[in-house]
Amino acid sequence: MLDMKWIRENAEEVRITAERKGIDISVDDLLELDERKRRLIQETDGLRERRNKLSQEIGRFMLEKRVEEAEVIKVETKEVNERLSLLDCELKAVEERFVALYELVPNRVSPDTPIGRSDADNVELAKVGDLPCFDYEIRDHIALGELHDLIDIPRGVKTAGSRHYYLKGAGVLLHRAVQQLALDLLIEKGFTPMEVPLMVRPEAMSNTAYFPLGKDQTYRLEDEESYLVGTSEVPLVTFHAGEIVDVEKPIKLAAASMCFRSEVGSAGRDVHGLYRVHQFAKVEQVVICRADPELSDAILGEITANAETLLQLLELPYRKVAVCTGDMSQKTYKQYDLETWMPSRAAYGETHSSSNLHAFQARRSNIRYRDENGTLRFCHTLNNTAVASPRILIPLLENHQREDGSIYIPAALSPYMYGKTELIPPQL
């Protein structure tokens, strides 16, 4: 979240940013509630101070046996208590409405973030790798998966419903291989590997800014006040929630975990294959550092480069885009996406995302450090998807297919595939 004092002084910027990010919030209502809340707090504090003084006077009068004067003060004390009771109820109602709006306030966006309404307005920054040239009719990842007995979607749907799947045999090995390759890469880069909780309390979702706006995308465990995470970013950041941390060197955390997403609002979109599913695995990078914009921007470049290295090791063509305001989440200050070429779609598809949140997430999670003057400051937090599977299997299978149906395995993956350098269909 943003500092409320800053919001009061920059209300117009907040309005513009909310509109550009597509967030429905009345900044005027927020400011009015903030003013009422502060007035009520001031009045209630004053009444409590008055009540304390009256209580002292009653005690003194009783000691001095000035009973009649004490009784007069008791009457005034009762009136003060009645007034306090009314004001406390009003303050509680105002605070609830204030918090509901305050939690919708979007993060600022960087000056170089493109302005746009959707991913169609994202700006291409670079293309890496040559697109494959097929002189034969290609198979999509599902046809390849069926040919090699790697993927079974009908049985996934039978077992769990739409957008579910089974991976089998070499499909499982590929799924795990890309994750382990990514995790090993991050460990070499100084990241601490973590095994994290996948069921979290609602405050963990709110503190990392996935609630309230992302609540409809999250699975809630019935009869329990906990939720399944859609990214290990939530437990990784929450690991340091409420703490004063040492960020002389940036804190670098990584986790390979299962993730869950309800995909509300995506009915009819990407229903074929493994692009948009309810259950998937991700290797996530999270970095917590000093509140230095130059430092966090440099780290954004580093974690994006880590994901690019992974794609290069997988020998996949991709492009890097600057994400526009309308395609950003509430919490994001600056974002890059990596989109990998998917032949069956004849287009690039998003496979990686990198975000710099500045202090927005740390303020909500209360993660602070002491600067060189000993002053407590909120950290900057960043995150990146090093790899997400099974989505990455789409370009991996499709780009590396051969005319006879065999599939080339990149050299970097071969050690994780028991030395296999290719997948050969059973009938060959």
Domain locations in the chain?
A: 4-102, 119-423
- The pLDDT, as a whole number, for residue 267 is 57
CATH 3.40.50.300 assigned to domain 119-423? The reply is no
What sign does the dihedral 255-237-302-244 (CA atoms) show? negative
Which residue out of 308, 350, 354, 363 is catalytically annotated? Answer: 350
* Domains 4-102 and 119-423 equal at CATH topology level: no
Catalytic residue among 20, 163, 261, 368: 261
Q: Of the listed 257, 344, 353, 355, which one is catalytic? A: 353
- For the chain (428 residues), the mean pLDDT of every run of 10, in chain order, is 96 98 97 97 95 90 86 91 95 97 98 97 98 96 96 96 95 98 98 98 97 95 92 98 98 98 71 90 98 98 98 98 98 98 97 98 98 97 98 98 97 97 88
* Residue 406: active-site member: no
Q: Is 389 a catalytic residue?
A: no
Nearest Cα neighbor of 175 from 394, 336, 419, 390 is 390
The one-letter amino acid code at 294 reads: E
What is residue 428's predicted lDDT score, i.e. its pLDDT? 61
Distances (CA, A) of 271 to 144, 156, 164, 267, 275: 17, 13, 10, 8, 8
Q: Which two tokens stand for residue 299?
A: 């780290």
Indicate the helix (H) or strand (E) that contains 62. helix 27-63
Arch. (CATH architecture) of 4-102 = Orthogonal Bundle (1.10)
Q: Using CA atoms, how far apart are residues 121 and 119, in angstroms rounded to an integer?
A: 5
DSSP string over 140-172: -HHHHHHHTT-EEHHHHHHHH-TT--EE-THHH
CA 409 – CA 361 distance, rounded (Å): 39
Per-residue pLDDT at 248: 97
The continuous run of DSSP H or E covering 176 comes out as helix 170-188
Q: What is the pLDDT of residue 175?
A: 98
Mapping DSSP to helix (H, G, I), strand (E, B) and coil, where does residue 422 land?
strand
> Measured between alpha carbons, how far is 113 from 337 in angstroms, rounded to an integer?
12
Distance CA 418, CA 408 (A): 14
Catalytic residue among 8, 51, 176, 276: 276
Residue type, 25: I
* Phi, psi of 303, deg, nearest 5: -70, -30
Handedness of CA 227, 229, 234, 239 (dihedral sign): positive
Closest-CA residue to 354 (of 380, 328, 338, 336): 336
9 assigned to active site: no
Q: Given this model, what pLDDT does residue 70 score?
A: 86
Q: Which residue has the tokens 């993660």?
A: 367
**Residue in 114, 173, 189, 136 with CA at minimum distance from that of residue 386:** 189
Give the count of beta carbons closer than 10 Å to the beta carbon of residue 93.
12
